[in-house]
């Protein structure tokens, strides 16, 4: 198949991890007879420097036309003045909104070879395979805000339609996995959570009778995620709870450098990016872990291009590379670390296996 993929390297280690991931996609294309065209554009700090804004119109237009977007990371000390009018992160929020992406998927599957890197006991982590789906465009982050000398407010608002669409996305994923959905809210206190629970229960009853659903309060979810992570398949939750739970879940996998993400909307298009940031402390050294970006490319093949076999081939190759201790500095024993490019090559070498 032919696919147009917009590539947004961004800042810091962004260009290095993208440069490592593209040859993996090219190798997959060669092996499976596909033709991927990569179109590079600016976002984040580099876009502020070159165009005066974090999301230039040309970048958004290209992203909206593309089959999918692969993104590195944005931000860095050069652009981090909190009083600055334009900031790199605004580019991320604007492109998600501009593409209508409302579901953020974060798979967490700790790899056997990297279990030691997690602060959680290894015996709790074996066999963990969780998909967290976070609502991305509603809730308290986007509600009206007020501020006076003596108080401040943030409005949390959800519509029935917003809850329905993200619950559907999550339930479809659960159906294609182990058939279990956990919907997380704070329905004992928040009205938006009572709406969330009612809508989630109805959607599951009417449209997904074959998927088991469980409703869980966010505070107990925070505990169970660490004490019995194997019990979960797909977890769906609202924006702020998801922001916090996804970072907590990332600790199960040990290194930030191993975790991919996908942001999806109603159609096939999506943005795929590692969950980590631009790591300015190691930028330019060629030592960043490229696996999260390579695994994000696998999600791109699965969710935007429908290439399940090719996605699984990348995931198996990353597994095999980790099994062979092909580690970058964040995971390796002193003196044993591979460079970013060598780690990507270790994946390419195992693609056919």
Of 174 and 265, nearer to ligand NAD (C-beta) is 265
How far apart, in Å, are the Cα atoms of 196 and each of 16, 72, 133, 183, 317? 40, 33, 14, 9, 39
- Whether 220 and 272 have beta carbons less than 8 Å apart is answered as no
Of 252 and 288, nearer to ligand NAD (C-beta) is 288
Q: Which of 5, 31, 11 minimizes the C-alpha distance to 316?
A: 31
- CB neighbour burial string for 100-119, b if at least 16 within 10 angstroms, e if fewer: ebbbbbbbbbbbebbbebbe
Shortest distance, CB of residue 194 to ligand NAD, whole angstroms?
32
What are the tokens at 241?
């709870």
Q: Which of 254, 339, 334 minimizes the C-alpha distance to 288?
A: 339
What are the tokens at 299?
């999600």
277 is in an annotated binding site: yes
Shortest distance, CB of residue 37 to ligand NAD, whole angstroms?
24
Among 18, 282, 301, 347, binds ligand NAD (CB under 6 A): 282
Shortest distance, CB of residue 243 to ligand NAD, whole angstroms?
11
280 binds ligand NAD (CB under 6 A): yes
Contact segment (CB under 6 A) with ligand NAD among 115-123, 159-167, 198-206, 273-281 equals 273-281
The dihedral formed by the CA atoms of 293, 295, 301 and 303, expressed in degrees to the nearest 10? -100
Torsion sign over Cα 213, 216, 220, 225:
positive
168 is in an annotated binding site: no
What are the tokens at 40?
């590079």
281 binds ligand NAD (CB under 6 A): yes
Shortest distance, CB of residue 169 to ligand NAD, whole angstroms?
20
Contact segment (CB under 6 A) with ligand NAD among 47-55, 99-107, 142-150, 271-279 equals 271-279
279 is in an annotated binding site: yes
Among 239, 313, 330, 348, binds ligand NAD (CB under 6 A): 330
CA–CA distance, 8 with 38 (Å, rounded to integer): 10
Per-residue x/- mask for ligand NAD, residues 6 to 35, rule CB under 6 A?
-------x----------------------
- Whether 127 and 230 have beta carbons less than 8 Å apart is answered as yes
Shortest distance, CB of residue 23 to ligand NAD, whole angstroms?
17
CB nearest ligand NAD: which residue? 277
Enumerate helices (H) and strands (E) in the chain, giving the number of each: 12, 12
Of 238 and 330, nearer to ligand NAD (C-beta) is 330
5 is in an annotated binding site: no
Among 7, 46, 73, 204, binds ligand NAD (CB under 6 A): 73
CA–CA distance, 218 with 184 (Å, rounded to integer): 6
Catalytic positions are 141, 186, 219, 243, 247
242 binds ligand NAD (CB under 6 A): no
Among 56, 110, 138, 277, binds ligand NAD (CB under 6 A): 277
81 is in an annotated binding site: yes
Contact segment (CB under 6 A) with ligand NAD among 183-191, 201-209, 211-219, 277-285 equals 277-285
Residues 6+ apart with CB under 8 A from 212: 179, 180, 181
Residues 6+ apart with CB under 8 A from 107: 129, 130, 131, 132, 259, 260, 299
Of 74 and 213, nearer to ligand NAD (C-beta) is 74
Of 71 and 269, nearer to ligand NAD (C-beta) is 71
* Site of interaction with ligand NAD (CB under 6 A): 13, 73-76, 80, 89, 92, 256-257, 273, 276-282, 288-289, 292, 330
Residues that constitute the known binding site for NAD(+): 76-89, 277-289
């Amino acid at each position: 198949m032919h696919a147009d993929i917009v590539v947004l390297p961004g800042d810091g280690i962004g260009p290095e991890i993208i440069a490592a991931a593209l040859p993996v996609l090219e190798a997959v294309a060669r092996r499976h007879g596909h033709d991927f065209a990569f179109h590079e554009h600016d976002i984040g700090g580099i876009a502020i420097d070159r165009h005066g804004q974090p999301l230039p119109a040309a970048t958004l237009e290209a992203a909206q036309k593309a089959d999918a977007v692969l993104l590195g990371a944005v931000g860095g000390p050069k652009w981090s003045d909190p009083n600055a009018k334009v900031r790199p992160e605004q580019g991320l929020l604007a492109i998600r909104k501009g593409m209508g992406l409302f579901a953020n998927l974060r798979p967490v599957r700790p790899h056997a070879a990297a279990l030691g890197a997690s602060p959680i006991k290894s015996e709790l982590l074996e066999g963990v395979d969780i998909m967290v789906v976070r609502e991305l465009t509603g809730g308290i982050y986007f509600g009206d805000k007020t501020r006076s000398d003596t108080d401040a407010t943030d409005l949390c608002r959800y519509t029935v339609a917003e809850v329905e669409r993200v619950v559907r996305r999550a339930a479809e994923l659960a159906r294609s996995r182990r058939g279990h959905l956990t919907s997380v809210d704070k329905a004992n206190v928040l009205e938006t959570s009572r709406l969330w629970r009612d809508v989630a229960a109805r959607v599951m009853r009417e449209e997904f009778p074959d998927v088991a659903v469980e409703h869980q309060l966010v505070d107990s979810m925070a505990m169970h995620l660490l004490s019995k992570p194997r019990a979960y398949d797909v977890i769906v939750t609202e924006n702020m709870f998801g922001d916090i739970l996804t970072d907590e879940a990332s600790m199960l996998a040990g290194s930030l450098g191993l975790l991919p993400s996908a942001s999806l909307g109603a159609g096939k298009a999506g943005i795929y990016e590692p969950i980590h940031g631009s790591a300015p402390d190691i930028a330019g050294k060629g030592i960043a872990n490229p696996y999260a970006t390579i695994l994000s490319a696998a999600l791109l093949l699965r969710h935007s291009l429908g290439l399940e076999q090719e996605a699984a081939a990348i995931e198996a190759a990353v597994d095999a590379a980790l099994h062979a201790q092909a580690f970058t500095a964040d995971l390796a024993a002193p003196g044993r670390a591979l460079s970013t490019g060598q780690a990507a090559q270790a994946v390419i070498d195992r693609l056919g296996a």
